[in-house]
């Protein structure tokens, strides 16, 4: 099966050499290429199913809903509330906002940690695939998509790299 995957990879390289290869230039979003792979999607799905992570997401959603409901009540009934009630409601909204900000920070930190682990794990395959693509497409310049002001979509090899990473990962799993 590994031979079949290598054959597929080689044919993919040859078939996917579009006319832009003559220009010697291509554009890639390596973050999208890696995070769009099946392996990355499965890793993030596992993160979402992690009980601690799921509890934090649920807590953040509850805080947001509570904060929103309190803000709506304050807006609707604020004129009939005493100054103390208004001040108390505003303080509660502020406290919930700070707690929400803290929890969202924890959620984002866990997502970033997971993405970094995916990049570390896939980096050897990514570097090999990029070398193969640079040679196969005779590329002289490879630009990051986020640093390019404009590029013809035909120059973008992000999807090629994602597909090749998926093929490489499925070959490694067999």
Give per-residue pLDDT as tens, 137-172: 888 888 888 888 888 888 889 999 999 999 988 877
Q: What are the pLDDT digits (tens) for 29-48? A: 999 999 999 999 999 999 99
- Binned at pLDDT 50, 70 and 90, residue 11 comes out as very low
Q: Show Cβ contacts of residue 26 under 8 Å, excluding neighbours closer than 6 positions.
A: 20, 133, 137, 139, 141, 142, 143, 155, 156, 157
- Binned at pLDDT 50, 70 and 90, residue 173 comes out as low
Domain boundaries, the chain: 2-172
């Amino acid at each position: 099966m590994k031979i079949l995957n290598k054959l597929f990879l080689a044919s993919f390289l040859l078939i996917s050499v579009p006319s832009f290869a003559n220009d010697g230039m291509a554009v890639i979003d390596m973050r999208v290429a890696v995070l769009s792979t099946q392996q990355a999607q499965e890793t993030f799905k596992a993160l979402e199913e992690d009980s601690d992570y799921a509890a934090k997401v649920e807590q953040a959603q509850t805080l947001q809903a509570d904060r929103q409901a309190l803000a709506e009540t304050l807006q609707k009934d604020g004129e009939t509330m005493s100054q103390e009630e208004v001040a108390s409601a505003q303080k509660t909204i502020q406290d919930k906002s700070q707690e929400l900000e803290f929890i969202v920070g924890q959620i984002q930190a866990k997502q970033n940690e997971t993405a970094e682990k995916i990049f570390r794990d896939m980096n050897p395959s990514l570097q090999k695939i990029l070398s193969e693509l640079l040679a196969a497409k005779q590329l002289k310049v490879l630009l990051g998509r986020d640093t390019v002001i404009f590029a013809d979509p035909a120059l973008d090899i992000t999807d090629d790299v994602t597909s090749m990473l998926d093929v490489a990962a499925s070959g490694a799993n067999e």
